[in-house]
Amino acid sequence: METAVLDLDLLRSFVSVVEAGGFTRAGARVHRTQSTVSQQIKRLEEDVGQQLLHRDGKDVRPTEAGERLLSYARRLLTLAEEARDVLRKPGGEGAIRLGIPEDFAAYRLPRLLGAFSRSHPGLRLDVRADQSKHLARDLERGELDLALYKREAGGKDAIAVWPERVHWVTSKSHPVDVNVPSVPLIGFPLGCLYRAGAIHALESAGRAWHTAYTSSNLAGIQAAVAAGMGLSILSEMSIQSEHRVLTAKEGFAPINKTELALMAAPDASPATLRLANRLAEFCDTVQTKAA
């Protein structure tokens, strides 16, 4: 039995359809018509002998086989781009200015970035961890090439998005009385999505609140929660063993109105897009575990 060779052009269209969520939007990304992209996906499905996409009107989502192929497709496309770049530019590869949120900076992402740097010795990687509002602003200004940041759910034009699940937390050893007249709130400075979400949730429930602790870095917020200074909302990866998650029965339901977005500058280099693919794979894994 002859084994089909995977066509990189077909794989590129497949990845674009999954990331864009539809054939028309994917066509715009790969500069092809909707019908051409649809035909490419049909050819790819014939090549692999599997249905790769569930089609529901204009929206599509990967089947189980499509999910399995997606990570391989991204890796194959990344390797192809690396090979082209090495042959085109045997010297230095330039620089990538990357912005990431603090909770990802403290998670396993630095290991991925370190491995990416080692595999691209001619590339200078400039990584900045910051609040999402600053990352979004600097990407728009052209001061970043690639950014992973939190935003309100339902945004447009991202390479990929992942719904976030954040929880109310208190100290495990020194829990705050959830029935206090005024809820002591711990959070980032004004402008933080989590802070705004926490205040909105409290005020919608008719609860009074006051600021107990404000910090511009995640470690300070985590420490203040562990010490029992107040309540905060944190992403699942930021919750520590010293914290206890509050429940809906206690009047503190999870807040699900934010998403993680991966955005690139319009003139992003091939190396930047390769890194974007690696970040997308990483976030797929992290958000699947959190679901």
37 and 9 in contact (C-beta within 8 Å)? Answer: no
10 and 44 in contact (C-beta within 8 Å)? Answer: yes
Q: Is the pLDDT of residue 256 over 80?
A: no
Cα dihedral angle (76, 150, 130, 94), rounded to 10 degrees? 30
Q: Is the pLDDT of residue 150 over 80?
A: yes
The stretch 238-266 carries a mean pLDDT of 90
Predicted TM-score of the model (pTM): 0.65
pLDDT band at residue 87 under the 50/70/90 scheme: low
The structural domains of the chain, ordered by start, are 8-75 (1.10.10.10), 91-155+258-290 (3.40.190.10), 166-250 (3.40.190.10)
Q: Is the pLDDT of residue 245 over 90?
A: yes
Secondary structure element (H or E) that encloses residue 279, with its range: helix 270-290
pLDDT for the residue numbered 122: 81
pLDDT for the residue numbered 1: 38
Spatial separation of the C-alpha atoms in residues 208 and 128, rounded to whole Å:
36
Q: Which two tokens mark 241?
A: 């063993």
Q: How far is CA 51 from CA 9, 31, 61, 191, in A?
A: 18, 24, 11, 44
Q: Is the pLDDT of residue 75 over 80?
A: yes
204 C-beta neighbours (distance < 10 Å), count: 8
Q: How confident is the model over 7-44, as pLDDT tens digits?
A: 888 888 888 888 877 777 766 666 678 788 888 889 99
pLDDT for the residue numbered 88: 59
Lowest-pLDDT range, 85-94, 124-133, 161-170? 85-94
pLDDT for the residue numbered 100: 94
